[in-house]
Structure 1
């Protein structure tokens, strides 16, 4: 007896005693609530028919009854499912990490490079309870010569240059913060952050559309994982590799000094903003006091790091991270802000 029967009078498809032994289909319906399964089955059948009508390879698959045809159909279904899963925020991060590590190891092998890419998983690094730095690449297989890669397939992550960072707002991840944090947490020579072209903030695209470099901070690479285009990752990695292999310590690092001076210039503008606020007769003197206290705290904070840098000629990775994040000065201001609000 045929499984499918066409009711010509009612223009209806009738399926009797139907069973399907397919792991992909089973897993999909197994993850659905019972009440939704019938509706999804109808939609799946309808979409599948449309796909067969429009698909360029449908004629080939329909004529091919051997194992190759079945395998091609399964591969296509897996690809479409993977594409759908990629855009679900809960899992796209881990998929990206796995794919990038796998791609890098295949590239290393094809070029006969002794490097290797290792997933860090849930392992914390040098910073307490910190997991930043998704992939560690050991250059020439040397565990002491590392490039750290952070994967951020997230549109909410902005560029975050230091001259535009406000220490008094809620902490958010930026390309700058993740590069500095990953470098300090995994004790690497160079850090690299990877974005996907379909999930990247405009501030990062304005800075670089392919590969970007922030002096003394790290590299940015924008890939297109859905097209399998990792060219920019390779470019950024090979540049980072050259730096890791050839970088030398100097007595005074002008790039790091530039970062500190940039912050000081930003804070000078903050002080000038106080005068503007007074001249424009702002709503309350309380806001003026807060602004003054902020500037005073920032001047002390920056002076501390500038003095340390000029004395030693460098900042440790942990010091650079603390300087960028400014958590200490933020916490100190909270107490002062409360006192001002109580006036």
Structure 2
């Protein structure tokens, strides 16, 4: 690649690219349109890189860049969705959950130590159940909370009432909790599901978080929205159970009642937050409309004064008045400034 500073051009003799997304886009175009589309794609890519907001930038393609680029946007969204659906089943989800727990522990100065354990064998022979292990109060405390991540639609609730000795063995939420506890020598265990992949039997029985006596906690998160507040509740209760010094029985109904109250409070806060954000958005739009009207008043007044002073408006004046390029440019700058207020 060469840069011609005199002509302000980029010169590329030849190049090849192996990318499924790019290939699908260009193969769908007639041959005589591909070169123009390539140049346009390069310009869009440069602008997106400069803005460093690729996803937000692509959301504008419908109005600004035409049907073909909207297809590119759809392909991008499709690849993003595929990424989430596949990554959710692997190490990526476990790493994200670990990162959340580390942040949560650090923010509340809990002193716990968490690490990935899903690749190492536990106490059971050839068994790796228990993806994350938390040492409550430090590695030498002897108190552990084990967490199993099961982003799999095949995992059912598996309570005692549904057991059938004639059926083949299969993993369930109950069995995985028990297995996690035993395999990692944990004092308490949590199994984590994603709301888009949890089986219907789990969705019906668990409203965000549920505690099963002597079994553990079932927790449903929204992975794609990075919403882990249910996990925070489950982990906080689990670590408290791990730290208990006596063997008194726990009132399961009371624990679940407290959990539901906490979930209700969190949902109320989320609803309030959404209302505040909507109000901010509406107020920003009001500010934009006010500024637009003020600019229009100033612009119209300018031409009114010109007409009153000169007694006429030339055709150039009329064209400028009609096209309003000057006021449009000013409004675009003011609009960006107002939008930036919402990001502060």
> What TM-score range do you get, normalising by the shorter chain?
0.5 to 0.7
Is 2:128 the partner of 1:137? no
What is the correspondence of 1:152-301 to structure 2 with a 5 Å cutoff?
152-249=150-247
2:146: which partner in 1? 148
Structure 2 partner of 1:124: 121
In angstroms, what is the RMSD of aligned CA positions? 4.0
Q: Report deviation, 1:92.
A: 2.0
The Cα of 1:140 is off from its aligned counterpart by 1.3
Question: Which has more radius of gyration?
Answer: 2
- For the residues of structure 1 that align with 2:29 and 2:162, how far apart are their CA atoms? 49
**Residues in 1 aligned to 2:102 and 2:13: alpha-carbon distance in whole angstroms:** 48
Deviations 1:84-110 (A, max 9, x none): 222138x62322111101111122122
1:120 Cα shift? 0.8
Match of 1:73 in 2: 54
2:164 counterpart SS class: coil
Note the C-alpha offset of 1:141: 1.4
1: distance between equivalents of 2:29 and 2:157? 41
CA change 1:84–1:217 in 2 (3 A) is: same
Q: Deviations over 1:181-209 (max 9, x none)?
A: 00000000000000001000111111112
Q: Deviations over 1:36-76 (max 9, x none)?
A: 98446546999xxxxxxxxxxxxxx969959651x322798
Deviation at 1:114, TM superposition (A): 1.1
Where does the alignment leave 5 or more consecutive residues of structure 2 unmatched?
1-11, 34-42, 59-75, 253-344
- 1:248 shift after superposition: 2.2
Contact map agreement 2:48 2:54 (CA 8 A) in 1: no
Q: State how far apart, in whole Å, the 1-side matches of 2:16 and 2:107 are.
A: 41
Change in 2 beyond 3 A, CA 1:254/1:92: closer
Does the C-alpha gap of structure 1 residues 137 and 114 become closer, same or farther in structure 2, counting only changes over 3 Å? same
Partner of 1:270: none
CA contact (8 A) 1:93 1:151 kept: no
Q: How does 1:84-123 map to 2 (within 5 A)?
A: 84-88=82-86, 92-123=89-120
Cα gap change, 1:165/1:43 in structure 2, threshold over 3 Å: closer, same or farther? farther
**Deviation readout 1:294-340 (Å, 9 max, x if unpaired):** xxxxxxxxxxxxxxxxxxxxxxxxxxxxxxxxxxxxxxxxxxxxxxx
Paired residues of 1:86 and 1:95 also in contact (CA < 8 A): no
Give the TM-score normalised by the residue count of structure 2: 0.54
Q: CA deviation at 1:116?
A: 2.2
Q: After TM superposition, give the deviation of residue 166 of structure 1 in Å.
A: 1.1
- Report if aligned partners of 2:156, 2:173 keep a CA contact under 8 Å in 1: yes
- Runs of 4+ that moved beyond 6 A: 61-64, 74-80, 252-255
> Tell me, which stretches of 5 or more residues in structure 1 are unaligned?
1-15, 47-60, 256-343
- Asked which structure has the greater RCO (Cα within 8 Å, sep 6+), the reply is 1
Q: 1:76 to 1:164 in 2, by over 3 A?
A: farther
Give the drift of 1:133.
0.3
